[in-house]
Chains A and B, each alone.
Chain A
Amino acid sequence: MLRHIVRRLLLGIPTLLAVFTVIFILVRVAPGDPAVAALGDYASAEAVEARRQRLGLDQPLPVQYLTFLGDLARGDLGRSLISERPIGEQILFVLPYTLELTLAAILFGLVLGVPVGVVTAIRQNKPIDYMGRIFSLLGLSLPAFYLGILLIFFFAVQIDLFPSVGYAPFNEPARNLHYLVLPAVTLGLIETAYIARMTRSVMLTVLTDDYVRTARAKGLREWIVLLQHALRAALIPIISLVGIFAISLIGSSVLVEEVFARPGLGKLMIGATKQKDYTMLQSIMVIYALIIVIINIVVDIVYTAVDPRVRYS
């Protein structure tokens, strides 16, 4: 098992390298001089040149590329093109908020989505199934930011139950969680829709399998058949899909952070995009790539643990 994990981690390296290269190139093909973009069109030639030198933008591209990779290897994410503050510090500050939000949403989605999926599957084509499917379809079509605004409208404006926007730091846990509720529910409801829809279709397939019929035929109680036989088998595809959903969840978290004015990677990226802070953008993409590769590896490992058929040779 340990060997498998190590191997999986090593396999992630070429992928990351490819991703870093693409990010590096993409950011470099942007039209215009980033130093000019940072200082404005009316900056003096000397100021622009000084900024270029400080940021290493005067070096030839291959040198910049190697410096970029070398800095990354040492955990140095460089400095912001605009504020010249170290990027690593800013990312370390916002990262816990994004992780808190996405983990809460995944938990919410699993706790609500799997039961909804199971119930709609065993009551196929009954009213509860139709309700579940309409709910899923709405969840798949509703943009995260609009759902967030709807929740703000009902739970913060109409009845003053939760704060509409903002955040509280982690050293005030109660307030922090109070601020987390609406954003996490926004993201969690969308996650629920995905998980419920997929659980339903996996369960429907599993329920027609022979061994489920056998289990029923030998007189096992229905809930044992459902939970111990059907759901257990259904869990395997669910786990790998939850990983895929977690990645799309990261995309939606950008919007949720924007709607609720929460600090986070997404909010940081939006700011960097608007300011054309290319060094910041590049570093944020690196962090996203790392998170995505880690999610994939975790899914892979959990998958191996749950499904004894998967050999990790």
Chain B
Amino acid sequence: MARMKSYGSQLFLPLSVLAILILVNLIKGSSYFSISIINGALYGNIPNILFGASELVILAIGMTLVTSSAGSQDLSVGVAATITSAVFVWVLLSAGKITWITILAAFLASCVVGILIGTFNGALVAALNVQPIVATLIVYTAGRSIAFLIDGKLSPILANNLTYEIGSEIPGVPIQTPIILTAVFVVLFAVLLRTTNLKLYSQSVGINQRAARLNGINPVRIKFLAFMIMGVCTAVAGFIAVTKAGRHDSVNLLKDIEMDAILAVAIGGSSLYGGKFSITGSIIGAYTIEVLNRTLLRLDVDPDAIKAFKAVFIIILMVIASPAVRELAGNGTKWVRDRLGGAVQIPTAIGEDAAVDPKSDISAKKEV
């Protein structure tokens, strides 16, 4: 019970931001949530949002993990996904025949490459103690050239039904495949967090590396692991991106997505200095960014002004999410509760568990 509440309070801000955006969309047109079935698949704003944000969601999850343990961000995610997807395309096209088997093989190959890139970044960060932002700048800078070479200096084309179905929809399945893949990924990641101590370990390392070590955790390994998992995330995101695109464009594929992934983590309420994190928050953050982009289009914002609008909105977002405003909001809730004389229990949005812990309430009354 207490857990649900504390969990909810952490997610209150990203959720409220998302709600405000949706409200704006509803004001613009009440048909915002309407969903129809086209070609046997669900169609509408919601499916479009889920479809469009799939790569970002996956990369935001990896980014959250890296941020938590390494206390800094991985700038190479978009570029790494470009490399892994180049490998995917290369292996698939070299295989000659495109079947589910060769697609799976090519995907696994791209995962291996993703893990290798993660290992490389991890080696620099965890073993050589290079700042993650600096370390990942290497792949960021050189990666697209590497992808270009893997592409054989052309942008290869995946004109076939199977990869098209992965990037759009499989006949008879009412939900677009990238949405399903993203959901599967999120579920698998949730299982990973449930069946391992990844969260406890990386939070511990991120908060206090020395204490973590004195409690038997190997910080080097945890950071390595975070980057390797990030490698898998980039492979999956690259796979979805390239099947959506139908061809591999080493120059522009997933360009600048690293910034959105970092932003998603920040909106989700995890500190960019590492430590505690909320994967759910980051996922909501990713969808919020996607909704924001689409809202600006829906409001017919002039293309020249779109960047400025986005910047203003992000500033507002960050101000709302800032510790100072959180505290203020907490005081506000307290104020309201005081006025109501404790007759009504208002679930605090921001306060600690203690505020909603019935035990402590009783003890407080006793003392009065």
Mutual binders A and B: no
